[in-house]
Chain A
Amino acid sequence: MIKAIFLIALSLVPLLTAAQLPSKGMFSLGVRSTHNAFSHDGQGLGVGGQFRIQLSDRVNTEWFADYISISGKHVRSNYAHIGWSVLFYLFKPQEQQRVLQPYISAGHCFDYNKKTAIRTPENTVDRWGSAVQGGIGTHLFVTDRFDVSISSLYMIHLTPAIESHTHEVNGVAQVVYHEHQLNKLEGHLLTTISINYKIGQLWGR
C-alpha cells in the first residue's frame, strides 16, 4: 500500500518546469506522513507537520513534529518527535525550477516514547530522550510553490531505550519492561512523504 501512495505521489509530477522563486528567507508549511521500519518495536505509521525556513540557495532548514504509533504483537509503542534538520541541496539552483531537487539531511530531535501493553492498557511506561537523524531525500516540485518531498532518515536514540518482554503466565501474555543501562545507539528508519507550500519570504525581498 505504501508503494501505491508513492506511485500516486510520483504521478503528481508535471512534465513542465516553473520559474524559480527566490530562495533566501523562504517560509514553507506542510504536513507529513511517516513510515517507521527496522526498529525492535516493529513497523508503524506517523502523522505530523513541518515548516521550512530556507537560509540560502542550497541550504534549507526543516522544523518538524511527528506522532508515530508502532504496534507489535503485544505492545504498542508511541513516539513523539519534535526537532529540526538541515537540508543541503546537491545541485545548484537554476533559473527554471528543477522538478527534482535531491538533498542530504541531518539534524536533532527531542523524543518521547510511551509503551503500552495492548491487552492491558494500564500497563504502561514512558521516557523522554534525545536523538539525531540523517539521510537523503528529494523534493518533487509540482508547481513553483508546491512540492511533494520524500526522505529516508535513520534516527539514532541518544537515550537508553525501553525494552519490553512478554511472558506467558497460565496462558496469558504478561508484558514487562526494562530500560537498557547502556546506550546501544539503536534507532529506526523513518521514511517520510510530505507536501509543502511556499508561503513567502521572511527576509531578502
Chain B
Amino acid sequence: MGKIVLFVLLSISIQASFSQQIKRDGLVKTYLTISPSIMLDNSERPFYFHGNLEGYVSEQVSIAGDGFFYLGTLNDLAIFQYNNSMFAGINWHPDKKGSSDPYIGFQPGIAFTKLASSASEVKNGVNPLVSVNLGYNYFINHYFQFFVAGKLILGEHAVDRRQSLNALQFSAGLGFSLPTKKPIKQNL
C-alpha cells in the first residue's frame, strides 16, 4: 500500500514539474522512429523506418506528413521486396490547451511496392492508400514530446498479382518540436 501511495505521489510530482501551457498554434514537430506493423490480410509482420513532420495551423488542427521506409519483416514471411509509403493529411486535436494532446486524423497516401517474387521482370506498383490516425502526444515543453501513434492503412498492390496492403502500424518515442510563432517563455 505504501509503495502505491509513493508511486502516485511521484507520478503527480513528475506531472506537476513537466506540465505547462503549451501554445500549439505555429508549433512544428518532427520525429524519426522504428514502426512495427501488422498486415491485416496475411501473416507478414513488416517494420519500417518512420518519419513524421507536422505543423499546427491552430490549437486544434495540424497538417501532417508521414513517410514509411520498409526495413524488412519481424518473422520469416517476406511478401514484399519493398513496401514504402508516404502520406499527407490533417490531424484534429480535441483538447485545445495543455500538455496532453490526443488526436485523430485522416491521411490519403501512396505506396511504392514490389513483390519478393522470383520473376525477374516484376515491375513495381504505385498504389493509392487511405489511412486513419489515432494517437497521443504528451508535451514535456515546447521542444520535446512523447508520442504514441497508431495508423490503419487500406490499399492494394496489383502488379504481377493482387496483394492487400491493409495494415495496422504503430509508432512511439520522443519527438522534437519548435515554436514558429512569437517567442514563448520557456520553463525548462
Q: Which residues of A contact B (CB under 8 A)?
A: 1, 5, 8-9, 11-12, 30-33, 44-49, 67-69, 71, 76, 116, 118-119, 121-122, 142-143, 145-146, 148, 193, 195, 197
Q: In the complex, are the beta carbons of B156 and A45 less than 8 A apart?
A: yes
Q: In the complex, are the beta carbons of A47 and B108 less than 8 A apart?
A: yes
Q: Which of B5-13, B66-74, B88-96 binds A?
A: B88-96
Q: Is the interface of B mostly helix, strand, loop or mixed?
A: strand
Q: In the complex, are the beta carbons of A76 and B160 less than 8 A apart?
A: no
Q: In the complex, are the beta carbons of A143 and B156 less than 8 A apart?
A: no
Q: How far is the CB of B147 from chain A (nearest CB, A)?
A: 20
Q: Closest A-chain residue to B88, C-beta based?
A: A31
What are 12 residue pairs bridging A and B, where the CB atoms are less than 8 Å apart in the complex? Answer: A1-B154, A1-B166, A8-B106, A31-B107, A45-B129, A45-B154, A69-B126, A69-B127, A76-B158, A76-B159, A145-B58, A145-B61
Cα–Cα, bound, A32→B162 (Å) = 24
Q: Which of B4-24 contact A (CB under 8 A)?
A: none
Given contacts A33-B130, A143-B61, A197-B57, contact A118 B162 (CB under 8 A): yes
Contacts of A44 on B, CB cut-off 8 Å? Answer: 128
Given contacts A5-B132, A45-B130, contact A71 B58 (CB under 8 A): no
Q: Is the interface of A mostly helix, strand, loop or mixed?
A: strand
Considering only CB atoms and an 8 Å cut-off, how many residues of chain B contact the other chain?
Answer: 33
Cα–Cα, bound, A101→B114 (Å) = 42
Q: In the complex, are the beta carbons of B158 and A45 less than 8 A apart?
A: no
Contacts of B166 on A, CB cut-off 8 Å? Answer: 1
Q: In the complex, are the beta carbons of B156 and A69 less than 8 A apart?
A: yes
Contacts of B129 on A, CB cut-off 8 Å? Answer: 45, 47
Given contacts A76-B159, A121-B159, contact A69 B132 (CB under 8 A): no
Cα–Cα, bound, A30→B63 (Å) = 10
Cα–Cα, bound, A195→B123 (Å) = 32
Contacts of A67 on B, CB cut-off 8 Å? Answer: 110, 126, 128
Q: In the complex, are the beta carbons of A12 and B57 less than 8 A apart?
A: no
Given contacts A31-B90, A47-B110, A195-B89, contact A143 B60 (CB under 8 A): yes
Q: Mark B77-116, 1 if CB is under 8 A from A, else 0.
A: 0000000000011101000000000001011111000000
New A-B pairs, 18, CB < 8 Å, besides A1-B166, A146-B60: A5-B130, A8-B104, A31-B107, A33-B130, A45-B129, A45-B155, A47-B129, A67-B126, A69-B126, A69-B158, A71-B162, A118-B159, A118-B160, A121-B159, A122-B121, A143-B61, A197-B61, A197-B63
Given contacts A45-B130, A47-B129, contact A119 B92 (CB under 8 A): no
- Is B3 an interface residue, CB under 8 A from the partner? no
